[in-house]
Amino acid sequence: VSSDREIRLKRAFHLSDREVEITLMVYEGFTNRQIASALHISEGTARNYISAIYEKLNSENRAEAVQAIKNEL
């Protein structure tokens, strides 16, 4: 079951379920390494997801991404 904030992020930024999961982890301050470890993916894969997320959030970096997420939640 998706939470209200997951649904909002998905609608606002057209994110996949996995992207929503990672977006919330970025928002909560997880490092790429922590995200990779928690989701059992490589750090490179985590970075690829995060790059795609930045693009969808129209962000250049983590700080801008977090602000975009905060504005939506």
φ and ψ at residue 28, rounded to 5 degrees? -85, 0
pLDDT at 1: 57
Q: For residue 7, give the H/E element and its range.
A: helix 4-13
Instruction: Report helix angle 17-27 to 62-72, nearest 10.
Output: 110
Give pLDDT tens digits along the chain (73 positions).
578 999 999 999 999 999 999 999 999 999 999 999 999 999 999 999 999 999 999 999 999 999 999 999 8
Tokens matching residue 38: 């928690």
Place of tokens 């649904």: 7
Rama region for 40: left / alpha / beta (φ>0; ψ in -120 to 50; rest): left
